Amino acid sequence: MQIKFGLVTYNNDLDCFDLDQNSYQIELNDEETKEYKALKSSDLDLYHWLKESDSFLKYIKEEVYQGNENKNFAICDINDISYARFYFFKVTSSDRHYAYFKKLFNIHEELDWQDREDVGEEILQYLSTKRKELILELG
Question: Cα(53)–Cα(16) distance, rounded to whole angstroms?
Answer: 25
Task: DSSP for 83-128, please give it.
Answer: -HHHHH--TT--HHHHHHHHHHTT-----TT--HHHHHHHHHHHHH
Quote the pLDDT of residue 110: 63
CB distance 123 to 107 below 8 Å: yes
**What is the pLDDT confidence band of residue 6, given thresholds at 50, 70 and 90?**
very high
CB distance 12 to 88 below 8 Å: no
Does residue 32 register a pLDDT over 60?
A: yes
What does the pLDDT look like over 82-139, one tens digit per residue?
999 999 999 889 989 999 999 999 988 766 556 778 889 999 999 999 999 999 998 6
Quote the pLDDT of residue 67: 81
Quote the pLDDT of residue 113: 55
The CB-side HSE value for 57 (13 A sphere, CA atoms) comes to 15
* β-pair partners for 74: 8
Quote the pLDDT of residue 111: 62
The total number of structural domains that make up the chain: 1
pTM: 0.89
Quote the pLDDT of residue 114: 60
Comparing C-alpha atoms, which of 102, 130, 134 is closest to residue 116?
Answer: 102
Domain, as residue range, for 10: 2-137
Question: Cα(127)–Cα(24) distance, rounded to whole angstroms?
Answer: 26
What does the pLDDT look like over 34-81, one tens digit per residue?
999 999 999 999 999 999 999 999 999 999 998 887 889 999 999 999
